[in-house]
Amino acid sequence: MKDHKEQACNIIILGASGDLSKRKLLPALFALYCNGMLPHDTRVYGYARSKMDDQQFREKITANLNCRYTPDSNDCAEKMETFLKMCFYQVGQYDSIQDFTALNERMAKEKRADANHLFYMSIPPDIFIDTSCSIGGAGLMDVPDGFWSRVVLEKPFGRDSKSSAILMKTLKSIFDEESTYRIDHYLGKEVIQNLMTLRFANLIFEPVWNRNYIDWVSIAFSEDIGCEGRAGYFDNFGIMRDVLQNHILQIVALVGMEAPVSLDAKHIADEKVKLLASAAAITAAETIVGQYIANTVDGEEKPGYLDDDEVPEGSITETYAHTIMHINNPRWSGVPFYLSAGKALDTRKTEIQIQFKDLPYSIFNGTGKENPQANKLVIRVQPNEAIELHVTNKVPGMGMEMEDVKLDMLYHDSFDEELPDAYERLLLDVIRGDRSLFLQDEELRVGWDIVTPLLHQLEKEGKKPVQYPYGQEPEHGCPA
């Protein structure tokens, strides 16, 4: 197989005028360029309807490029200039074969036909199909022998089992599964990638990673800001579709799955699918949904969800969800997985907690001393990425007191390396053709099966979510 850097590559960003492109994709490509990881002959073509020329596009993206990998400011300015010269812009409609043909002709004229093609759909999901049909219709997926053409799709992948299946089926008529990279940027986060290493490259966890030793597992995602600026998009989806169905279920799969046969993308996906397929659908009886209301936080007035101009009056879209997932297999039967996701809570954090059981018998019982705490493993995905193992320790001194202390590994203290942004890793993997951090179609299907019945029930009943003040988590009565 050819080194990914040796072949020319055209990276075509659809929706290049938008937020994701400006804030994440172009800075990630620049970081890869600074690290010498992009193919030597790369061109980025931004494509969108907004009127801009190449120069205006370059000016628009410059402010978000940063030189964290290039501390020398002279080098940085030089690298930025060269990178910007690799970026071009093409105005076009998404549903126009003619406009995409114009892009194809431009690339041919600029001698970019003998190159790999990477399409990044940084556009709203309701135009995926039209855009894909135009790309296919303009012949942009047809590359010369020896080259590849790949497409990256951003979530959300549908609204429920049925719409997701229709979307996947339609897209498959244009892009085959091997060329399709469905991104869940959480899978590109360093701590999430480390889950397999932690579990399968260490002896000490695997023997206790099961129902005999683990009491419960919790995966919690919280943001301390509301939906400001994205409420129009968010209202169509809600937190269960936006976060729980994808990011959180992917983490559940990595925490719960059996060891894959190898690190091959298919083997990893097979194990994730098996795990998610063993889970029962979440139920209304074990789920709380909430919606934030206005509150004063640290002296500042914070608006409620319904106060946002982009939110329709009386919307019952949930901004918070807490649920219990049950995995019916020999490893996890009887171990609740508490899942929660919310906006406008008291903190910004994503954390996995593995709570071990109490000791079956303790020699310290009856000594009048505190019983040792059960062990807990905490894996903090963000911020301040860390792994903490809570153990019981004797408090130093003449007595015999015990205390829960943390053996902790903070990424920032333990590694000199800068943690790459998830998009850097994921874009590089697309170019290298490694699909192991991307969602495969079956994963999507089983993931939607877990949440779709509840989503439909809530919609049918039209029940209002519980209100919670901005900055405070709703009560749910579960340990985490």
Ligand X SMILES: NC(=O)c1ccc[n+]([C@@H]2O[C@H](COP(=O)([O-])OP(=O)(O)OC[C@H]3O[C@@H](n4cnc5c(N)ncnc54)[C@H](OP(=O)(O)O)[C@@H]3O)[C@@H](O)[C@H]2O)c1
* Per CB under 6 A, 122 contacts ligand X: yes
* Per CB under 6 A, 127 contacts ligand X: yes
CA–CA dist 134, 99 (Å, integer):
8
According to CB under 6 A, which one of 102, 124, 326, 434 is a site residue for ligand X? 124
Q: Which is nearer to ligand X, 127 or 419 (CB)?
A: 127
Over the window 76 to 95, marking each residue x when it contacts ligand X by CB under 6 A and - when it does not, the resulting string is: ------------------x-
Asked whether the beta carbons of 372 and 395 are under 8 A apart, the reply is no
Pair type for strands 376-382 and 349-356: antiparallel
Q: Which is nearer to ligand X, 47 or 209 (CB)?
A: 47
Stretch that binds ligand X, among 121-129, 243-251, 337-345, 438-446 (CB under 6 A): 121-129
CA–CA dist 60, 46 (Å, integer):
11
**Residue 369 Cα distances to 364, 375, 395, angstroms:** 7, 17, 12
* Per CB under 6 A, 48 contacts ligand X: yes
CA–CA dist 169, 166 (Å, integer):
5
Per 3-state DSSP, the chain is made up of helix, strand and coil in percentages (nearest 5) of 35, 25, 40
**Residue 87 Cα distances to 27, 44, 66, 117, 150, angstroms:** 12, 5, 16, 15, 19
Stretch that binds ligand X, among 4-12, 47-55, 217-225, 397-405 (CB under 6 A): 47-55
Q: Looking at 112-193, which runs of residues are DSSP E strands?
A: 116-121, 149-154, 180-183
Q: Which is nearer to ligand X, 22 or 476 (CB)?
A: 22
* Per CB under 6 A, 50 contacts ligand X: yes
Stretch that binds ligand X, among 116-124, 194-202, 317-325, 431-439 (CB under 6 A): 116-124
Residue number of the CB atom closest to ligand X:
18
Catalytic residue among 4, 117, 185, 247, which? 247
Query: Which letter does DSSP use for residue 107 in this model?
Result: H
* Per CB under 6 A, 17 contacts ligand X: yes
According to CB under 6 A, which one of 5, 8, 18, 163 is a site residue for ligand X? 18
Q: Which is nearer to ligand X, 311 or 335 (CB)?
A: 311
Chain centre to alpha carbon of residue 11: 21
Query: Which letter does DSSP use for residue 174 in this model?
Result: T
Asked whether the beta carbons of 272 and 266 are under 8 A apart, the reply is no
User: Which residue has tokens 């991307």?
Assistant: 438
Number of residues that bind ligand X (CB under 6 A): 17
Work out how close the CB of 127 gets to ligand X at its nearest, in angstroms, rounded to a whole number. Answer: 5
The answer to whether residue 247 is catalytic is yes
Residue 213 has which token pair? Answer: 């030793």
* Per CB under 6 A, 154 contacts ligand X: yes
* Per CB under 6 A, 238 contacts ligand X: no
* Per CB under 6 A, 424 contacts ligand X: no
* Per CB under 6 A, 163 contacts ligand X: no
Work out how close the CB of 430 gets to ligand X at its nearest, in angstroms, rounded to a whole number. Answer: 15
* Per CB under 6 A, 223 contacts ligand X: no
Find out whether the peptide bond into 474 is cis, omega within 30 degrees of 0. no
Phi/psi of residue 475, nearest 5 degrees: -65, 135
Q: Give the HSE-up count for residue 235: Cα atoms under 13 Å, Cβ half-sphere.
A: 17
Work out how close the CB of 252 gets to ligand X at its nearest, in angstroms, rounded to a whole number. Answer: 19
- Interface residues toward ligand X, by CB under 6 A: 15, 17-21, 48-50, 94, 122-125, 127, 154-155
Provide the annotated active-site residues: 247
